[in-house]
């Protein structure tokens, strides 16, 4: 029983071929393609409004130098948002529940922000490792602590996204299993758990959107420190 709960997190395959690539590229097919007409469809208008809103929120804490990252951060936000929301549908696979994928997104982008800071302002970037006014005996320990906290940032990004989505999927499966198991014997209790399942599903939709936003927002804050 415990193994079956975690089967939903295993990557699907067909004839031994992993299908995770299809799972990650399929959300892009849901976005309407652009055309040359002035009057577009309602879906295109909604898409442009959503992209504009996301870009505004992500670029707000950044100065003008950071606006060069608008396309990368907005694309990442929409990508994570679609994958997280589509993963809540029945009989689907959520790639962002895989720690390897989240780290593959977090580590290169975090490293790019660090290298940007070291290239543009090396003194200020290295100065973050040692707060001003630190007593001389504490300098080696503080440098070690700040370096560790800097290196652990991409791991925290990946683990946060993986843990929140995995916990939500497990709770939904546990409560849905309890609902079907209690239906023949205690129908009233089963209806109560069904109500809890409905509320939990709404909560998970909010968590899916919030975690995508937090992931990209933290990257933008790391970028702001280095520009």
Q: Which residues contact 111 (CB under 8 A, 6 or more apart)?
A: 154
* pLDDT at residue 46, rounded to an integer: 80
**Res 28 pLDDT > 80:** no
Token pair belonging to 139: 């300098």
pLDDT band at 8 (very low <50, low <70, confident <90, very high): low
- Which among 95, 94, 52, 96 is positioned nearest to 74, based on CA atoms? 52
Please indicate, yes or no, if residue 11 is contained in any of the structural domains.
no
Domain limits for position 49: 18-226
Q: Per-residue confidence at 56, pLDDT binned at 50, 70, 90?
A: confident
Residue 13 lies in a domain: no
Say what the pLDDT of residue 131 is: 72
Phi-psi region of 16 (alpha: psi -120 to 50; beta: other; left: phi over 0): left
Number of domains in the chain: 1
Mean pLDDT over each residue of the chain, to the nearest integer: 83
Q: Residue 2: inside a domain, yes or no? A: no
CB of 217 within 8 A of CB of 58?
yes
Domain-embedded: residue 186:
yes
Domain membership of residue 143 (yes or no) is yes
- pLDDT at position 83: 87
Predicted pLDDT of residue 39: 58
pLDDT at position 43: 72
The pLDDT tens digits of the residues spanning 155-192 come to 999 999 999 998 888 888 888 888 888 888 888 888 99
Residues 58, 77: contact at Cβ < 8 Å?
A: yes
Q: Determine, yes or no, domain membership for 8.
A: no
From CA 215, how far away is CA 165, in angstroms rounded?
13
Residue 110 is assigned to a structural domain of this protein? yes
Residue 214, in any domain of the structure = yes
């Amino acid at each position: 029983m415990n193994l079956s709960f975690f089967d939903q997190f295993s990557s699907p395959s067909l004839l031994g071929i992993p299908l995770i690539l299809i799972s990650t590229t399929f959300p892009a097919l849901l976005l309407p393609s652009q055309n040359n007409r002035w009057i577009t469809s309602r879906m295109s208008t909604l898409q442009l409004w959503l992209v504009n809103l996301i870009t505004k929120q992500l670029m707000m804490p950044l100065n003008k130098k950071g606006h060069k990252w608008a396309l990368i951060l907005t694309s990442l936000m929409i990508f994570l948002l679609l994958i997280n929301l589509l993963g809540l549908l029945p009989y689907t696979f959520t790639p962002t529940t895989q720690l390897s994928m989240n780290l593959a997104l977090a580590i290169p982008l975090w490293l790019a922000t660090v290298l940007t800071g070291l290239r543009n302002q090396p003194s200020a970037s290295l100065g973050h490792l040692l707060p001003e006014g630190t007593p001389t005996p504490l300098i080696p320990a503080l440098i070690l602590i700040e370096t560790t906290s800097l290196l652990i940032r991409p791991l925290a990004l990946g683990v946060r996204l993986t843990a929140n989505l995995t916990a939500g999927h497990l709770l939904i499966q546990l409560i849905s299993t309890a609902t079907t198991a209690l239906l023949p014997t205690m129908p009233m209790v089963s209806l109560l758990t069904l109500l809890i399942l409905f509320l939990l599903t709404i909560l998970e939709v909010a968590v899916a959107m919030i975690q995508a936003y937090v992931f990209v927002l933290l990257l933008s804050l790391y970028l702001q420190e280095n520009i």
